[in-house]
């Protein structure tokens, strides 16, 4: 009897399937490990970035505070210079120490040698520059109206001087007329000097007072009718001070002197400037002697050989931080009082070729 062939299907070996499963498991484990590492790295980088950002903000705030502190010290230093100048002389001219600008220099160079060796990094990386400007060397537009309240009236000599300056600079005289009218109206609305103010009336008055509308700084003269381009072109020759002031003949430019003195031409004003460079004027009579017929217009009310109002400008550079400060000060005897201070915005300082930074 013959045997029938077997019809049973042979079973496949299982080892290759098990090996493939183990490979996939290893791949999944490696992928999971990589994802875990990537997640940890991302979280670490995020934490590091947040920490660095917080450190950068704290460092910037610290630098800003240090720069502001140093600038305040520089302001006190310049006030001391003006105070000692008042002790030494009753006249102000451009050959005095206050008129010499301070070029950018390391702050620790102002220390004694022994102290400089102990100066910390703050002072060795800080650079200070600045200058003092005599604002009574410019035409004070506040002079256009003398007095206040009922006594306020336009000063014709000062208005004529401003008109000559506007004409020399090619500025629209219509703006000058509008400015004088607005200034007169504003000053007439002010209370007379020495008049007590009623606190109850001030508390219930919701409208802005005339005093609050009176400009304090040069750029605010737009309130009274002068345009931005006019102010920009006029800034080197005119100013705005809290009170009428005489023009300092020892420091004013030839153009301003020519505009301020009726009948004086620019050549005569330039000659006067050349004379004072050789020897400054101790009295206004000395300057008047050089002006010929125009000397009759030189009086103590509108002209002087000394100044009270000065503009202080300082800039401090600390690493990549630059901070500037401007202050108006008034000198009363030997006391120097700050009228207002304005601090500039923080900017990135450009590398200085002079310091090699």
Domain segments of the chain as ranges: 25-54, 74-136+308-348, 141-192+212-235
Q: What percent of the chain has pLDDT over 90?
A: 52
Residues 6+ apart with CB under 8 A from 144: 154, 155, 158, 159, 162, 179, 180, 183
- pLDDT value for 127: 83
Provide the pLDDT confidence category of residue 44 given band limits of 50, 70 and 90: confident
Provide the b/e sequence for 325-353 (b: ≥16 CB within 10 Å): bbbbbbbeeeebeeeeeeeeeeeebeeee
Residues 6+ apart with CB under 8 A from 89: 96
174 C-beta neighbours (distance < 10 Å), count: 10
Alpha-carbon gap, residue 131 to 99, rounded angstroms: 7
Mean pLDDT taken over the chain = 81
Look at 117 and 204; give whichever has higher pLDDT: 117
What predicted TM-score, i.e. pTM, was given to this entire model? Answer: 0.75
Look at 121 and 270; give whichever has higher pLDDT: 270
| Model confidence at 173: pLDDT above 60 | yes
| Model confidence at 307: pLDDT above 60 | yes
- pLDDT value for 196: 53
Strand partners, 286: none
Look at 140 and 42; give whichever has higher pLDDT: 140
Which range among 32-41, 167-176, 179-188, 218-227 shows the weakest confidence by mean pLDDT?
32-41
Look at 171 and 43; give whichever has higher pLDDT: 171
Alpha-carbon gap, residue 227 to 109, rounded angstroms: 43
**Would you identify the CATH topology of the domain 74-136+308-348?**
3.30.1300
Helix (H) or strand (E) holding 286: helix 284-288
Provide the pLDDT confidence category of residue 165 given band limits of 50, 70 and 90: very high
- pLDDT value for 119: 47
10 C-beta neighbours (distance < 10 Å), count: 6
| Model confidence at 195: pLDDT above 60 | no
Ramachandran sector of residue 247 (left: φ over 0; alpha: ψ -120 to 50; beta: rest) = beta
Q: Do 183 and 144 meet the contact criterion of CB atoms below 8 Å apart?
A: yes
For residue 216, which phi and psi values (nearest 5 degrees)? -115, -30
- pLDDT value for 200: 44
Alpha-carbon gap, residue 59 to 47, rounded angstroms: 18
Nearest-Å Rg of the Cα atoms of the chain is: 36
Provide the pLDDT confidence category of residue 159 given band limits of 50, 70 and 90: very high
Provide the pLDDT confidence category of residue 108 given band limits of 50, 70 and 90: low
Look at 148 and 6; give whichever has higher pLDDT: 148
Provide the pLDDT confidence category of residue 246 given band limits of 50, 70 and 90: very high
Tell me which long-range contacts 119-122 makes (C-beta under 8 A, separation of at least 24): 122/66, 122/318
């Amino acid at each position: 009897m013959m045997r029938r062939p077997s019809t049973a299907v042979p079973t496949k070996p299982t080892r290759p399937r098990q090996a493939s499963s183990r490979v996939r498991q290893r791949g999944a484990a490696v992928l999971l490990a990589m994802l875990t590492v990537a997640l940890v790295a991302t979280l670490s980088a995020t934490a590091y970035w947040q920490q660095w950002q917080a450190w950068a903000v704290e460092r910037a705030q610290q630098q800003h505070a240090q720069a502001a502190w140093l600038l305040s010290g520089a302001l006190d230093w310049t006030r001391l210079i003006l105070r000692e100048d008042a002790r030494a002389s009753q006249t102000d001219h451009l050959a005095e120490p206050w008129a010499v600008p301070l070029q950018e220099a390391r702050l620790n160079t102002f220390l004694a040698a022994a102290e400089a060796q102990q100066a910390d990094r703050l002072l060795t990386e800080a650079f200070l520059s600045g200058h003092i400007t005599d604002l009574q060397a410019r035409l004070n537009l506040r002079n256009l109206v003398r007095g206040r309240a009922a006594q306020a009236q336009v000063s014709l000599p000062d208005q004529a001087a401003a008109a000559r300056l506007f004409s020399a600079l090619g500025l629209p005289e219509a703006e000058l007329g509008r400015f004088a009218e607005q200034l007169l109206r504003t000053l007439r609305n002010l209370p007379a000097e020495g008049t007590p103010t009623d606190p109850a009336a001030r508390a219930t008055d919701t409208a802005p007072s005339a005093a609050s509308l009176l400009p304090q700084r040069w750029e605010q003269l737009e309130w009274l009718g002068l345009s931005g381009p006019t102010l920009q072109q006029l800034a080197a020759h005119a100013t705005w001070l809290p009170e009428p002031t005489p023009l300092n003949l020892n420091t004013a430019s030839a153009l301003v002197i020519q505009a301020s003195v009726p009948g004086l031409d620019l050549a005569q004003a330039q000659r006067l400037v050349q004379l004072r460079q050789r020897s400054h004027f101790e009295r206004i009579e000395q300057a008047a002697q050089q002006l010929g017929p125009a000397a009759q217009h030189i009086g103590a009310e509108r002209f002087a050989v000394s100044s009270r109002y000065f503009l202080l400008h300082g800039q401090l550079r600390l690493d990549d931080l630059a901070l500037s400060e401007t202050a108006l000060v008034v000198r009363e005897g030997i006391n120097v009082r700050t009228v207002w201070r304005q601090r500039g915005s923080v900017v990135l300082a450009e590398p200085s070729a002079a310091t090699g930074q």
